[in-house]
Amino acid sequence: MCTVSFLPIEQGFALAMNRDEKKSRVRGEKPRKQRTGRHYSLHPSEPGGGTWIGINHRGLALALINWHAQPLNEHAQFSRGIAVPHLLAAENLGRVAKLFASLPLERLNPFRLIAASLPERALAEWRWDGNCLSLSQGGWARSHWFSSGRDEAGAARARAKIADRTLGTMSQLRRLHCSHQPERGAFSVCMHRDDAETVSYTEILAGQDGARMRHAAGALCKERLGAPSFLSFHAPLA
């Protein structure tokens, strides 16, 4: 259950994500700079170290959403959250594709991974259905991705109607991610159910020199955005 939005801006892009989870799930940790392979990256974290969104200092951003339309993998042993930190070690989309080979995909539940590469000005989406990994690439244009554990297709249709309206600025992007249209509930972008809700919002604003990440440890309708964290695209490795 999540909503991811991509918006190209002058000399860069914005990537925003509502993370929707069970209310009983342990709260994630706020973003911080970390080492991923030969690169520095900036991302929030699960207590166990995985994450759902991040960007590295090569201008590669990744976001992962569960693919509820596919059945759960009965052999799954690892959290899907291990994928993003592992793949942030890549410098471009081609390297991401190669690094998938070293992930234990056969032990992960289905997911969709969205990748935005600023140097290549390219978008890609990998889909793991539990048996097969597929890749689709789209243009450098406004895009949205939706997942839901309750009628994924219905949630996608309802949210797309809201998302397809005018969206050309960062403030409009934030308004979308705190939207309760058409009504506050399971299908709204800012999602609220008895058992689950939007538990965090994270946005990435990437430009020529670096990326700024802001994070709210809760839904935007209830929590304020924290102070921005910055990752330089020219940071030397330790």
190 pLDDT higher than 60: yes
98/10: higher pLDDT: 98
Q: How many domains would you assign to the chain?
A: 1
Query: Which of 118, 112, 111 is CA-nearest to residue 7?
Result: 118
**Tens digit of pLDDT for each residue in 113-152?**
999 999 999 999 999 999 999 999 989 999 999 999 888 9
**Tens digit of pLDDT for each residue in 201-211?**
999 999 989 99
Which residue matches tokens 């801006």? 9
Spatial separation of the C-alpha atoms in residues 36 and 91, rounded to whole Å: 11
Assess if residue 238 is contained within a domain. no
Assess if residue 177 is contained within a domain. yes
Question: What are the φ/ψ torsions at residue 42 (nearest 5 degrees)?
Answer: -130, 125
212 pLDDT higher than 90: yes
For residue 41, the enclosing domain spans 2-232
238 pLDDT higher than 70: no
Question: What are the φ/ψ torsions at residue 25 (nearest 5 degrees)?
Answer: -70, 145
Assess if residue 116 is contained within a domain. yes
237 pLDDT higher than 50: no
Instruction: Find the CATH number of the domain harbouring 61.
Output: 3.60.60.10
Flag whether the pTM goes above 0.85: yes
